[in-house]
Amino acid sequence: MKQNHTTPETFLGVGYTRDRAGLPLEAVRVPVPRPAADQVLVRVAASSLNPLEYKLADLNFMGRTPPVVLGLDLSGVVVAAGPGVDRVAAGDAVAAMADLNGDGGWVAADGGEAGYAVARQFLTVRKPPSLSFRDAAVLPMAFLSAFAGLYGAVRAGDTVYIPGGGGGVGHLAVQMAARVLAAGMVISSGSRPESIALARRCGAHHVFDYRRDDLSAEIAKLTGGRGVDLVFDATYSERSFVETSKTVRRGGRWAVLGVGPGRTTRLAETHSPVAAVLAERGATYVNVNLLRYFSEPATLDGEARDFLRRGMDLAMEWAARGLVVPHVGRTIDSTVAAISEGLKSLKAGGAAPGKVAVIVDRDLAGEG
């Protein structure tokens, strides 16, 4: 294993120290992890906020023993690599997603320390020089989610409905459908003027206000009463699931990100009409779930790894080519207070549209 000798033994991470501790997060001193055979150790330049992080702090549903350091989206520089790693090497600038059942790389950077995290090589990719560390860091989790929902599912000319096109996953999904996968019509929705505007800028042809407009009626009008070929619903909202399931055409496809209808609280299962609505239309119901690969590791087989590796490669390639470009609505420092406040606002639905970037190391990220 190549090891950078300046790497410290410990760092002051940001995460939770008690089961179901919730927000605010805390600073916690943890050992710098050592990369296993197929892992790299990344000195972190930047990261981003994902709803998963407040959910883990609230519910600890991956069954971890605290302390848990959060910050699962990563960009930075490889400082050490396990012996099985041949895709990247020490010194490379990379983007990566840490295992979703492992630790991340947020550091209480106001203490002047660097943050470190390990990532597996199939979830690590070289960062193109034209892409900033900040922009590379907001892509992994949100891009892979959109990729898993749409890639191989959208055919050229399809009519696609992606609710929440101003969200972290949604704004990338809209661009992917409209600019790469050649969907014929992309429909989206939002409630806040800034997220509606972002969905439009991302290439959605029609964007509705889900609080005000009658989505089913509007989509019926746009599709001549037929319905859309495909829905990709990454809103985690039961209300949205019920509404979007009614917009799929007969024999179409309804893909949902995460645990799906009836289970959005994770605490209780409730009755959901979605499966019946889809069955009545003969539509295919697909669950897309990155978390499942980590909560049920048997699902992370060779095919799944290849798919995720391809997703990480295309995240960088499409961003560098200006096809699927991350929108950073807000950039914050990696401090306990700023991250906790950012997650609180994400939880309340009031975060900036697109993604919130976290600058972990100003010098390394070139954001000084």
Ligand X SMILES: NC(=O)c1ccc[n+]([C@@H]2O[C@H](COP(=O)([O-])OP(=O)(O)OC[C@H]3O[C@@H](n4cnc5c(N)ncnc54)[C@H](OP(=O)(O)O)[C@@H]3O)[C@@H](O)[C@H]2O)c1
Q: Which stretch binds ligand X (CB under 6 A): 10-18, 38-46, 127-135, 235-243?
A: 235-243
Work out how close the CB of 207 gets to ligand X at its nearest, in angstroms, rounded to a whole number: 10
Regarding 318 and contact with ligand X (CB under 6 A), the answer is no
The Cα–Cα gap between 50 and 346 comes to 8
Nearer to ligand X, 43 or 246 (CB): 246
Work out how close the CB of 86 gets to ligand X at its nearest, in angstroms, rounded to a whole number: 28
Work out how close the CB of 189 gets to ligand X at its nearest, in angstroms, rounded to a whole number: 5
Work out how close the CB of 332 gets to ligand X at its nearest, in angstroms, rounded to a whole number: 15
Nearer to ligand X, 38 or 243 (CB): 243
Nearer to ligand X, 209 or 306 (CB): 209
Nearer to ligand X, 274 or 364 (CB): 274
Among 70, 346, 352, 357, binds ligand X (CB under 6 A): 346
Work out how close the CB of 34 gets to ligand X at its nearest, in angstroms, rounded to a whole number: 27
Among 76, 82, 164, 252, binds ligand X (CB under 6 A): 164
The Cα–Cα gap between 330 and 312 comes to 23
Question: Binding mask 176-195 vs ligand X (x if CB under 6 A, - otherwise)?
Answer: -------------xxxx--x
Q: Evaluate whether 330 touches 8 at the Cβ level (below 8 Å).
A: no
The Cα–Cα gap between 113 and 220 comes to 55
Work out how close the CB of 5 gets to ligand X at its nearest, in angstroms, rounded to a whole number: 37
Among 78, 93, 228, 257, binds ligand X (CB under 6 A): 257
- Which residues are 159's β-sheet partners? 185
Subset of 116-155 contacting ligand X (CB under 6 A): 141-142, 145
Q: How many residues does the chain have?
A: 368
Among 7, 101, 216, 237, binds ligand X (CB under 6 A): 237
Q: What is the 3-state secondary structure (H, E, C) of the chain?
A: CEECCCCCCEEEEEEECCCCCCCCCEEEEEECCCCCCCEEEEEEEEEECCHHHHHHHHHCCCCCCCCEECCCEEEEEEEEECCCCCCCCCCCEEEEECCCCCCCCCECHHHCCCCEEEEEHHHEEECCCCCCHHHHHCCHHHHHHHHHHHCCCCCCCCEEEECCCCCHHHHHHHHHHHHHCCCCEEEEEECCHHHHHHHHHCCCCEEEECCCCCHHHHHHHHCCCCCEEEEEECCCCHHHHHHHHCCEEEEEEEEEECCCCCCCCCCCCCCCCHHHHHHHHCCEEEEECCCHHHHCHHHCCHHHHHHHHHHHHHHHHHHHCCCCCCCEEEEEECCHHHHHHHHHHHHCCCCCCCEEEEECCHHHHCCC
Question: Binding mask 34-63 vs ligand X (x if CB under 6 A, - otherwise)?
Answer: ----------------xxx--x--------
Subset of 275-314 contacting ligand X (CB under 6 A): 289-291
- Which residues are 126's β-sheet partners? 94
Work out how close the CB of 79 gets to ligand X at its nearest, in angstroms, rounded to a whole number: 27
Among 39, 159, 235, 335, binds ligand X (CB under 6 A): 235
Amino acid at 152: G
Nearer to ligand X, 43 or 327 (CB): 327
Work out how close the CB of 154 gets to ligand X at its nearest, in angstroms, rounded to a whole number: 18
Which spans of this chain sit near ligand X (rule: CB under 6 A)?
A: 50-52, 55, 141-142, 145, 163-164, 166-170, 189-192, 195, 210, 234-237, 239-240, 257-258, 289-291, 346, 349
